[in-house]
């Protein structure tokens, strides 16, 4: 049985990834900071184990790796998903916020990948969940964009360095996805318009869209994909689309 580690698995995209991979027959170690939410994840499937841990702790990578090996005896896939939202633009970002974003979304996955890489065998893979803000410029991206952009660069390095050993690494870059973290932001009319009226699809992204893409990259079908970023955003980042509503609205001079 193949074994996957999924970080940030207590809710949202991480929860979806963990349950999707388990549903495809994998054993999964899901990590997060909320023991109650992790307990709910574990109840979904007997192939899922969980570990409550702060990824930014110095001993977190060793603890996560040991937990996976102790429980399942091997590691085949690492899904670096844990993240945080609601960033501020560069001029509003203080050092504490900068350190928090970089620590959780760049330093932590770097250190966990470094710990896990020695246990991966040919055919294994790492998937880093980045963002459309690592693909195009994003308003208010700030430290979030910097962290996700760094994770994209780490992805291509791992793909190049460890590809000859049969270890692949790719990134999945979701656009706005309907998760608890995003729900509050969609109440902001400006944020909602930027995403709904500029997406050439009939809906916003769902957790299942991202989880299915991650699962594909961990499948035989994705076994020759390496060093790539797959954007899951309904065309938001790759088109100049505007909805009929946006095109027929009254424009305000800049």
* Rama region for 39: left / alpha / beta (φ>0; ψ in -120 to 50; rest): alpha
Q: Point out the least confidently predicted range of 188-202, 211-225, 235-249.
A: 188-202
Q: Cα–Cα–Cα angle for 59, 148, 8, nearest 5°?
A: 50
Mean pLDDT, residues 19-48: 94
With 0.85 as the threshold, say if the pTM is over it.
Answer: yes
25 occurs within a structural domain: yes
Tell me: pLDDT of 223 over 90.
yes
Question: Which tops the pLDDT comparison, 94 or 183?
Answer: 94
Query: Distance between CA atoms of 56 and 110, rounded to whole angstroms?
Result: 11
Mean pLDDT, residues 46-64: 97
What tokens appear for 2 in the block? 């193949």
- Provide the pLDDT for residue 189: 85
Scan for tokens 């990134």, then name that residue: 171
- Provide the pLDDT for residue 44: 81
Is residue 19 within a helix (H) or strand (E), and if so which, with residue range?
helix 12-23
Burial 32-58 (b: 16+ CB within 10 A, else e): beeeebbeebbeebebbbbbebebeee
Tell me: pLDDT of 184 over 80.
no
Q: Residue 166: count other Cβ atoms within 10 Å of its Cβ.
A: 13
184 occurs within a structural domain: no
123-151, pLDDT tens digit by residue?
999 999 999 999 998 888 899 999 999 99
Identified catalytic residue from 77, 144, 241, 245: 144
Domain extent at residue 94: 3-179+205-239
DSSP state of 71: H
Please classify residue 243 by burial: count the beta carbons closer than 10 Å to its beta carbon, then call 0-12 exposed, 13-18 middle and 19+ buried.
Answer: middle
Q: Cα–Cα–Cα angle for 152, 155, 159, nearest 5°?
A: 150
Residue pair 32/48 in contact by the 8 Å Cβ criterion: no
Mean pLDDT, residues 17-34: 97
Query: Is 77 an annotated catalytic residue?
Result: no
Mean pLDDT, residues 170-195: 85
Tell me: pLDDT of 45 over 90.
no
Question: Which tops the pLDDT comparison, 26 or 176?
Answer: 26
168 occurs within a structural domain: yes
In this prediction, residue 183 has a pLDDT band, given cuts at 50, 70 and 90, of confident
Tell me: pLDDT of 182 over 90.
no
Q: Residue 241: count other Cβ atoms within 10 Å of its Cβ.
A: 15
Tally the C-alpha atoms within 13 A of residue 193's C-alpha that lie toward its C-beta.
Answer: 8
- What CATH number is given to the structural domain containing 150? 3.40.50.720
199 occurs within a structural domain: no
Share of the chain above pLDDT 90, in %: 82
21 occurs within a structural domain: yes
Residue closest to 155 by CA, chosen among 137, 143, 173: 173
191 occurs within a structural domain: no
248 occurs within a structural domain: no
196 occurs within a structural domain: no
What tokens appear for 63 in the block? 């603890």
Tally the C-alpha atoms within 13 A of residue 114's C-alpha that lie toward its C-beta.
Answer: 11
Residue closest to 45 by CA, chosen among 64, 28, 60: 28
Structural domain total, the chain: 1
In this prediction, residue 254 has a pLDDT band, given cuts at 50, 70 and 90, of confident
């Amino acid at each position: 049985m193949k074994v996957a580690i999924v970080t940030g698995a207590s809710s949202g995209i991480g929860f979806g990834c963990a349950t999707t991979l388990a549903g495809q027959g994998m054993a999964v170690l899901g990590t997060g900071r909320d023991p109650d939410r992790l307990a709910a994840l574990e109840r979904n499937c007997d192939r899922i184990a969980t570990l409550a841990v702060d990824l930014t702790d110095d001993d977190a990578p060793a603890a996560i790796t040991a937990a996976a090996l102790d429980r399942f005896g091997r590691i085949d896939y690492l899904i670096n998903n844990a993240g945080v939202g609601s960033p501020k633009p560069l001029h509003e970002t203080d050092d504490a916020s900068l350190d928090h974003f970089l620590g959780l979304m760049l330093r932590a996955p770097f250190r966990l990948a470094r710990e896990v890489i020695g246990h991966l065998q040919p055919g294994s893979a790492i998937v880093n969940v980045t963002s459309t803000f690592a693909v195009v410029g994003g308003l208010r991206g700030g430290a979030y964009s910097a962290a996700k952009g760094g994770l994209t660069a780490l992805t291509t390095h791992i793909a190049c360095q460890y590809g000859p050993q049969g270890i692949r690494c790719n990134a999945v870059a979701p656009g706005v996805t309907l998760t608890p973290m995003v729900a509050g932001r969609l109440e902001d009319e400006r944020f909602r318009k930027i995403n709904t009226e500029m997406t050439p699809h009939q809906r916003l992204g769902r957790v299942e869209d991202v989880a299915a893409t991650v699962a594909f990259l961990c499948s035989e079908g994705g076994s020759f994909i390496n060093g790539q970023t797959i954007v899951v955003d309904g065309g938001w980042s790759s088109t100049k689309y505007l909805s009929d509503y946006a095109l027929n609205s009254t424009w305000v001079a800049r």
